[in-house]
Chains A and B, each alone.
Chain A
Amino acid sequence: MKYANSFFSKKGLFERYGENPGTMLVHTGLLGWILSSLAQITAIVANDKIPSEQKKFLIPQEAADGLVNIFSFYVITSSFKLLGSKLVSTGKLASKNIKAFLNKSGVQNKVGKLDFNISRMENFNEIKSDYKSFKNGVDVIASTVGSIVSCNIFTPIVRNECAARIQKRLIDRQNKPQSDSNYYPYKISMDNYQKTAYSKYSSPGLKI
């Protein structure tokens, strides 16, 4: 609780994100996905029109869908952001000023090595301003490209596949013989039909 308080405190936010706009975009994007998924689950829980039997199926389905979305967003976006950061901190991507600084410092042979970090160099203060401005820009671009790949390409493809499988499972279940306890009868009342319709899969996507 104490950690959560300090995490969301004004000072905590200032110290954490003041110098790291790319990280802020990844974290707030992740929070957006989490809240979006929670909102979907709450909508099902609070909907009186959905019978409790359907809720037993829909809630875990929505939770699983949310976990896939959250996980893929975090893994893809933070990987892009980490790669962007690493390319700048090891000097692989550099502005002309940073390159000149590296040449002047005689560390050309260390450029691109995993354990090399420009910000840990003794004379880092000489290039600090240029480096931070370039790195923040690359971080933000990398996070945004990561978000586009995750939210607009990877997740919709995976979601369509999952939706098709879940719908197929539902249709198979409906076609099972009557002895099955989960069977939906061929001739049902309009009220039961409407209730059953809620079990049709509808994936949320990023709503907020």
Chain B
Amino acid sequence: MPLSIKTYITNTSLYKSAAKKLNSVKQKGLDLIPNAEFSNEKFLNCVDYIGKNFSSDKQRLVLGATALVTQPVIDYYNKNVDEKTRKVSVARTVAKILAGTATGFLIRYGCIKSIKAFSKIPGEGVPKYKTILTPKGVTDNTTDAFEQYRNALGTIISLGIMLFTNFLVDAPLTKFLTNVFIDKQEEKNEVRK
């Protein structure tokens, strides 16, 4: 039986030697991290909750909240542009984060919730359209795995929808908010003068 290209490559001495060196580097890196044991029940319950319930909608919220803290600061201290450009850049960044996070969160949340209605388990009294998104062979829709499947499918559908809302909602909302923030900045400057 002929060897596949992958088997041929992984059997060469060059590959073996490189893999050995890479593993040794990885092991050294891993050794730098101290062992940790977590025994606090509250913390462990929190980790468990996050693993089960934290999906892309909540992740988008967290990303938006942290973006509001980091990105305007990065733009404000961007020494490559003049002060006026920096201020406009900060206003635009804040507007973009607010618009993007609001639409991103709401659409993801809505899609993930909607998937639930169409992923019931087939059975008596359950209309066929309510099972349209249930994978074949699944008999229990209360497991964590099924919840993660709903999250994944909801997120993928929401990404398709956001291709349109990106232009229809995000862009005009970002423009509107940017103008509001710039006007406020100018008002402040005038008061100072």
Contacts and interface: CB of A to CB of B under 8 A. Distances in A.
Interface in B119-158: 133-138, 143-146, 148-149, 151-153, 155-156
Contact of B136 (A11, A36, A90): A11
Chain B binding surface, main DSSP class: helix
A208 B166 contact: yes
B106 to A, nearest CB: 12
A153 interface: yes
B148 A112 contact: no
B10 interface: no
Interface stretch (B1-9, B54-62, B183-191): B54-62
B78 A160 contact: yes
Chain A binding surface, main DSSP class: helix
Contacts, number: 185
A8 B156 CA distance: 9
B182 interface: no
Contact of B153 (A10, A92, A138): A10
Interface residues of A, number: 64
A197 to B, nearest CB: 15
A94 B30 CA distance: 15
Interface in B3-55: 23, 26-27, 30-31, 33, 35-39, 44, 46-52, 54-55
Interface of B: 23, 26-27, 30-31, 33, 35-39, 44, 46-52, 54-56, 59, 62-63, 66-67, 69-71, 74-75, 78, 80-81, 93, 96, 100, 104, 133-138, 143-146, 148-149, 151-153, 155-156, 159-160, 162-163, 165-167, 170
